Structure formats: C-alpha cells, structure tokens
Amino acid sequence: MSLLTYATLFLAVLAETIGTTALQASQQFTKPLPSVIVVVAYAAAFYLLALTLRSVPVGVAYALWSGLGILLIALIGFVVFGQTLDWPAVVGMSLIVGGIAVIQLFSAAATH
C-alpha cells in the first residue's frame, strides 16, 4: 500500500471513530449536534473507505478499518466515558492487533 492509501484508510478510521464517539454522546439521537456529527462522520468514513478500495482488497481494507476502529473506540471509551475492559476483552483486542500485523507483514493480499 502506498503512503496515500495508508493516510486515506487512517482518515477513514478516524472519521468512523469520531462518528462512533458522537453516537454515544448523542444519547440515542436525542441530542442534535452529536447526532449531526454521527451522520457526517460516518458518511466521510465510508467515502474514505471506498477510496481505499481502489488499491486494497475489500477484506484487507475492512480488517484494518474495523480492527483499528475497535482499538481506538476502546481507548476513547476508557478515557472519555470511563468504560473499562476485562482481561478477556484486552486479550481479544490484542489478537486483533496481532492479526492486523500478520496481514500487513506477511500477506501478499495486502499488496494487491
């Protein structure tokens, strides 16, 4: 993947993370500003993900997008919303990170 592709995918993850954080803050779409942020951020996330799909297979792109999003949301949940994770959740997320690393370091599918 090129640097531009990585940047586009990272921006997609960032937009998705913002959207998911705003979804929590919207309190089931009862607060207008966070609700608007949800819609705009998710639209941006899917648009940027679609751009990434020009040069990355959908399975690889989605694995990276969703895996990194899970980790960022868990971190934001902890820092912003005071949510905690138990050890099985931490182990599971570590396996996700390991899977992303294996894809990027060893899979030929990541470069097609």
In tens, the pLDDT along 38-74 reads: 999 999 999 999 999 999 888 888 888 888 898 899 9
Distance from C-alpha of 12 to C-alpha of 41, rounded to nearest angstrom? 9
Q: For residue 28, what pLDDT is reported?
A: 95
Q: Give the mean pLDDT of the chain.
A: 91
Structure confidence at residue 108 as a pLDDT band (50, 70, 90): confident
Q: Identify the residue with better confidence: 29 or 99.
A: 29
Give the tokens for residue 13.
């993850």
What's the total number of domains in the chain? Answer: 1
pLDDT surpasses 80 at 110 = no
pLDDT surpasses 90 at 106 = no
Distance from C-alpha of 93 to C-alpha of 84, rounded to nearest angstrom? 13
Distance from C-alpha of 15 to C-alpha of 7, rounded to nearest angstrom? 12
Q: Identify the residue with better confidence: 19 or 109.
A: 19
What mean pLDDT do residues 86-95 have?
A: 92
Asked if 50 and 11 touch (Cβ cutoff 8 Å), the reply is no
What letter represents residue 47's amino acid? Y
pLDDT surpasses 70 at 111 = no
Residue 48 is part of which domain span? 3-111
Please name the residues in contact with 74: beta carbons below 8 A apart, sequence gap of 6 or more: 85, 89, 93
Tell me 96's DSSP state.
H
